[in-house]
């Protein structure tokens, strides 16, 4: 009876996955939203069963996706199916919300890198490079239009070109950020539904209580010092490595600074809209981004929120 129940549950969840996959592949606007629900059937099945059953369910999902969308479906089922399976296994083993988030992010990142490498090696398709080439063509067209109106566009073109070079340099960091954001959205939309079906999911602590390890601050300072001392040439391996490490660590500092703002707002009893608006304007106005980053550094280095709490 237990095996029959598992088979029935697995069949139902695979049917749900098939519907979500069809929407994601063939419905233009709705597909961009439904894609983040693809991990839900894998989370629900893996959270209620052991690892062996979870792997069998994942295999069934991959085979079903090949029938529905052939190889076009693999770029969807691999990252979302694997991530959902890993998150579900972590839930079933009671390993906590944060470890499941980190594991899911690493699996999603590995899936993206495998798909990217396969596209380049097998089909000679570099999506990032093609996107950069399209933007360069757009810049050239815009330059021609502006010159046709008698305006000098050299300065603007130079800034856009430098921006494209920076995007190419930050490609590894963009993969990491895409994975972090994707797994965050997956958990955000999947966990409330999973809870309604009796799956026990640990809740996040309030954002204001989040504090990163102090070691991150040391890594950040070491990265800055190494950049100044060695000053690697642009385009070299060390240049790309330092730029990407610094970019990710700066984002961590911004997150720490925003957490401090939420903490201070809660301490003062301000409306919840105040820190939310502060976070929105932080990403809209670059100069605020620097201020929030400095706040994060001060908070990590001098335990600012503890001092504020005592006062």
Q: What are phi and psi of 303, to 5 degrees?
A: 50, 50
Angle ∠(279,246,118) on CA atoms, nearest 5: 100
| The predicted structure's pLDDT at residue 211 | 82
Nearest-CA neighbor of 45 among 61, 33, 31, 34? Answer: 61
Q: Give percent above pLDDT 70 in the chain.
A: 92
Mean pLDDT of 104-113: 91
Split at pLDDT 50, 70, 90, the class of 293 is: very high
Q: Please tell me the predicted confidence (pLDDT) of residue 59.
A: 93
pLDDT per residue over 72-82, tens digit each?
888 889 999 99
Instruction: Determine the pLDDT at residue 149.
Output: 60
pTM: 0.82
Contact 132, 139 (CB under 8 A): no
Model pLDDT, residue 206:
83
């Amino acid at each position: 009876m237990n095996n029959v129940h598992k088979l029935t549950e697995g069949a139902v969840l695979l049917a749900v996955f098939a519907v979500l996959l069809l929407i994601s592949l063939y419905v233009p606007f709705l597909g961009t939203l439904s894609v983040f629900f693809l991990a839900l059937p894998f989370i629900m099945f893996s959270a209620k069963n052991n690892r062996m059953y979870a792997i069998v369910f994942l295999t069934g999902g991959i085979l079903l996706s090949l029938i529905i969308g052939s190889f076009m479906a693999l770029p969807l089922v691999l990252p979302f199916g694997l991530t959902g399976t890993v998150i579900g296994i972590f839930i079933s083993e009671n390993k906590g919300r944060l470890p499941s988030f980190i594991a899911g992010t690493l699996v999603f990142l590995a899936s993206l890198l495998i798909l990217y490498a396969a596209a380049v090696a097998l089909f000679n398709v570099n999506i990032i490079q093609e996107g950069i080439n399209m933007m360069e063509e757009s810049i050239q067209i815009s330059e021609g239009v502006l010159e046709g109106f008698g305006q000098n566009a050299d300065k603007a073109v130079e800034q856009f070109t430098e921006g494209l070079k920076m995007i190419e340099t930050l490609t590894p960091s963009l993969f990491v950020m895409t994975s972090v954001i994707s797994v965050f959205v997956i958990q955000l939309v999947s966990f409330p539904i999973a809870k309604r079906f009796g799956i026990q999911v640990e809740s996040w602590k309030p954002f204001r209580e989040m504090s990163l390890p102090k070691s991150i601050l040391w890594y950040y300072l070491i990265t800055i010092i190494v950049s100044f001392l060695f000053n690697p040439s642009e385009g070299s391996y060390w240049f790309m490595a330092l730029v990407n490490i610094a970019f990710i660590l700066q984002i961590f500092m911004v997150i720490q600074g925003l957490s401090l703002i939420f903490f201070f707002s809660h301490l003062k009893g301000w409306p919840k809209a105040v820190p939310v608006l502060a976070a929105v304007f932080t990403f809209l106005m670059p100069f605020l981004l620097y201020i929030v980053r400095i706040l994060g550094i001060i908070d990590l280095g001098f335990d600012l929120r503890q001092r504020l709490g005592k006062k």
